[in-house]
Amino acid sequence: MANKPPSQPLIQVPALFSIVEPGVYRSASPTPSQVPFLAGLNLKTIISLTPEHPIKPLLQFVRTAGISFVHLGLTHWRRPGTDWRPVRYEIIKTALEAYILDTRAHPVLLIDPLGVHQTGCLVGALRMMQGWNFASALMEYRAHAGSKHRYVDEHYIELFDSDLINLPAPQYRPSWWLACDEAEPQKVEMLTSSNGGAGLLADANGPTQAVV
């Protein structure tokens, strides 16, 4: 009886991984067994939205692959005060202007420990900029957050002022953003319902500015 070749280990997907838009991904911070999955994304940038230090396998991966690890959560960290906002304004503004809406940083992955709160607020802010109505943005947020949803996150998304965000030069804006720019107001709802932000959503229970 011939010996069977050793089986290849299964690649595990980070919890709550999904496609936000072409070239923009989100997930919970990957565990060591989930880091190999990232190789298939051909990432140029990973943005960490909280001050927690990344695990060593992730740092080794980004260094080997030549990926920029941008630790916005640490760069803009401040001691908790009276500000009600769940994510500092500087983090959202920088992430949108310099990375999500600028193709020079794509493909980009957005992470936080759970893949719910900071990432959810950031993606919700993007959706409001894209002209989604709040109900659609809320549905996407809750699809990822489940029982972990926070009303303060939802309130932040609802009140987000997109006029404070400066867009990059037109030649660096992603094609999906240009489509929103050119869409007539009555077509924006069609864009939100057809996308839904639900690409490849992974189960949460499944198997500085610091640039490295």
- Does 132 fall in a domain? yes
- Does 140 fall in a domain? yes
- Does 163 fall in a domain? yes
95-135 residue pLDDT tens: 999 999 999 999 999 999 999 999 999 999 999 999 999 99
Domain count, the chain: 1
Domain that holds residue 114: 18-195
Residues in the chain: 212
Give yes or no for a cis peptide into 22 (omega within 30° of 0): no
Query: The domain that contains 132 carries what CATH number?
Result: 3.90.190.10
- Does 2 fall in a domain? no
pTM of the prediction?
0.82
7-51 residue pLDDT tens: 667 889 999 999 999 999 999 999 999 999 999 999 999 999 988
- Does 212 fall in a domain? no
Instruction: Compute, in degrees rounded to 10, the torsion defined by CA atoms 24, 188, 124, 207.
Output: -50
Query: How many C-beta atoms surround the C-beta of residue 197 within 10 A?
Result: 23
39-97 residue pLDDT tens: 999 999 999 998 889 999 999 999 999 999 999 987 656 665 656 666 888 999 999 99
